[in-house]
Amino acid sequence: IDSAKRLGLVDTRHGIHFGREPTGPLPPLTGPSVNSKEGRKKKEAQKKAEPTPPPREEEEQEPPPPVDDRPLVFPEDEDLISDYLYLTLEQMSPCVLMEADRVGCYKGRKVGFPGLACKHCV
């Protein structure tokens, strides 16, 4: 929810709309966990609570294929899809699943499984 609000999305009774120019610069991060003492304590507690996996034998795996770094959408695509979808895809980039990502519903996926990730976070 915070990320959507930061992008400028607002929930109205007529649906979700942009409350500001979506292609403009993002406002600074805000909230209690941004560089706060509580946020740091919470992160440290989560790290301590996570069990460390036992060391695995080195398996020979072929390296994942290179990730295509072309954008998912181009400016000429903007008229073909909704503003929301265009902005969403503009913020994403292709990625592949890594060993560290194999948690939750991704446990059964093989390393190298293709996907999408926020281009600002990777």
Averaged pLDDT in 10-residue chunks for the chain of 122 residues: 82 85 78 63 73 60 68 92 93 89 88 88 76
Q: Is residue 100 part of a domain?
A: yes
Domain that holds residue 109: 85-122
Q: Is residue 53 part of a domain?
A: no
Q: Is residue 56 part of a domain?
A: no
Q: What are the tokens at 40? A: 């740091």
Q: Is residue 8 part of a domain?
A: yes
pLDDT computed for residue 25 by the predictor: 83
pLDDT computed for residue 69 by the predictor: 75
Q: How many domains does the chain have?
A: 2
pTM above 0.85, yes or no: no
pLDDT computed for residue 67 by the predictor: 66
Q: Is residue 58 part of a domain?
A: no
pLDDT computed for residue 18 by the predictor: 85
The CA distances from residue 59 to 35, 100, 102, 111, in Å, are 39, 15, 16, 12
Q: Is residue 73 part of a domain?
A: no
**Residue 25 three-state SS:** coil
Q: Is residue 105 part of a domain?
A: yes
**Residue 52 three-state SS:** coil
